[in-house]
Amino acid sequence: MNKRVTIKDVAREAGVSIATISYVVNKKEGVREETAEKVSAAIKKLNYIPDLSARSLVSNRSNLIGVVIPQTEEDKELMLKNPFYSEFLSAVEYNLRKNNFQLIISGTNIDKGYLDMVVERNMDGIIVVGMYPDEFFEDLKKANIPTVLVDSYCKDHYFHSVQINDRYGAYIATKYLIENGHENIGIVTGKIKTGGVASERYLGYKDALKEFDIPIIEKNVFEGNVDFEFGIQVAKQISKNKELTVVFAIADILALGLIKGLKSVGINIPEDISVIGFDDIYISKIFDLGLTTVKQDIYKKGQKAAEIVMKSIFEKSKTKQEIVLPVEIVIRETVKKRIK
């Protein structure tokens, strides 16, 4: 077995001190360009890989950021089937990597604390996507490290946050449908839990109906999982409701499943039933029919979460940062204007 190359070996090869090697590896100022080039050449020649654990002890930083995303169900896989999360994570990873941070992606069960892993891995910061029980957030506070909540309506003033106004986004979607002649408007949603994104979007839907004096009909609310499969499944129920002229799906992945399901039972979109989504994931633009949807900037959401957690680490600032990104309607092909 080949012996691992150490920092002492590199120092000997370059003819400099161990401290100089450390300065170059950690990209600190104060090293002459000629010396830095000599060190870099030695590192390349010896194929030296810095010991991250040792660097962590010296700098008191691990350069690891934990990212928590929801699971489909307790003890099940992460929700990566929804392209929203992969687009978000791509933005987070890229912006962290540019600054020499790495991320550890995980889900968390409601019966397991996240604090142990945070401490064991000596994480520098955490980004949490979605809503979790109060106990989970209390555990995070004990870790005493920078934490950014994304798409969470947790009222605790301890945490930084990045989000959109989900209620307003759902309101403008429903209002757009009403202004295009629709009154019998269904909604396909995830589980409506207080403080969650699905709940906020459902409230926005109700706000618009109330503003136009349209009654909220319980049978027009279809509640389930936020995934493609539920969209397909619920299409059969919706196809039997002859009064519905349009459906608002609270996530694009639901809307796309719904369109596929409706088409499979002979319903044309938007001639028979119109569909509007929420998120503007990439596939919404390239689907068979371009999906009319509420656009949020998913990339910027991930970028801002990464920037805030890194700024908090570097500046050790206790000032809470709250970012609310804008939303807008993107008109494509899945909503038909009804003429009364």
CA–chain centroid gap for 1, Å, is 43
In tens, the pLDDT along 179-202 reads: 999 999 999 999 898 778 999 999
- Determine contact, residues 14/42, Cβ cutoff 8 Å: yes
My answer on whether 45 and 155 are in the same domain is no
Tokens of residue 40, six digits: 């870099």
Domain assignment present for 335: no
**Average pLDDT in the 203-229 region?**
95
Domain assignment present for 170: yes
Per-residue pLDDT at 1 exceeds 50: no
In tens, the pLDDT along 253-311 reads: 999 999 999 999 999 999 999 999 999 999 999 888 899 999 999 999 999 999 999 99
Confidence of residue 54 (pLDDT cuts 50, 70, 90): low
In tens, the pLDDT along 129-185 reads: 988 888 888 888 877 889 999 999 888 888 999 999 999 999 999 999 999 999 999
Domain assignment present for 332: no
pLDDT for the residue numbered 80: 72
Per-residue pLDDT at 101 exceeds 90: yes
Per-residue pLDDT at 29 exceeds 80: no
My answer on whether 183 and 263 are in the same domain is yes
Domain assignment present for 340: no
Which domain CATH number covers 307? 3.40.50.2300
Gap between the Cα atoms of 254 and 82, Å rounded: 9
3-state secondary structure of 189: strand
Instruction: Classify residue 156 as exposed, middle or buried by CB count within 10 Å of its CB (0-12, 13-18, 19+).
Output: middle
The answer for residues whose C-beta is within 8 angstroms of residue 240's C-beta and 6 or more apart is none
In tens, the pLDDT along 68-80 reads: 888 765 555 656 7
Domain assignment present for 281: yes
My answer on whether 160 and 265 are in the same domain is no
Domain assignment present for 269: yes
My answer on whether 189 and 290 are in the same domain is yes
My answer on whether 184 and 290 are in the same domain is yes
**Average pLDDT in the 119-134 region?**
84
The answer for residues whose C-beta is within 8 angstroms of residue 245's C-beta and 6 or more apart is 182, 183, 184, 185, 273, 274, 338
In tens, the pLDDT along 199-214 reads: 999 999 999 999 999 9
Per-residue pLDDT at 112 exceeds 70: no
Which domain CATH number covers 20? 1.10.260.40
pLDDT for the residue numbered 274: 98
Gap between the Cα atoms of 250 and 202, Å rounded: 8
pLDDT for the residue numbered 74: 59
The answer for residues whose C-beta is within 8 angstroms of residue 340's C-beta and 6 or more apart is 181
My answer on whether 278 and 178 are in the same domain is yes
My answer on whether 173 and 285 are in the same domain is yes
Domain assignment present for 1: no
331 vs 33 pLDDT, higher one = 331
Per-residue pLDDT at 110 exceeds 60: no
pLDDT for the residue numbered 156: 81
Please give the share of the chain, as a percent, with pLDDT higher than 90: 59
My answer on whether 291 and 172 are in the same domain is yes
pLDDT for the residue numbered 319: 79
My answer on whether 183 and 279 are in the same domain is yes
Confidence of residue 57 (pLDDT cuts 50, 70, 90): very low
- Bridge partners for 161 per DSSP: 149, 322
Q: What is the pTM of this model?
A: 0.81
3-state secondary structure of 305: helix
Per-residue pLDDT at 244 exceeds 80: yes
Confidence of residue 231 (pLDDT cuts 50, 70, 90): very high
Gap between the Cα atoms of 282 and 293, Å rounded: 12
Question: In total, how many domains does the chain have?
Answer: 3
Domain residues for the domain of 234 are: 166-296
Q: Which of 21-25, 53-57, 264-268 has the lowest mean pLDDT?
A: 53-57
My answer on whether 139 and 177 are in the same domain is no
My answer on whether 102 and 251 are in the same domain is no
CA atoms within 13 A on the CB side of 19: 3
My answer on whether 151 and 87 are in the same domain is yes
Please give the share of the chain, as a percent, with pLDDT higher than 70: 88
pLDDT for the residue numbered 122: 77
Domain assignment present for 185: yes
Confidence of residue 48 (pLDDT cuts 50, 70, 90): confident
DSSP run (H or E) holding 147: strand 147-150
Kindly tell me the sign of the dihedral angle through the C-alpha atoms of 41, 42, 43, 44: positive
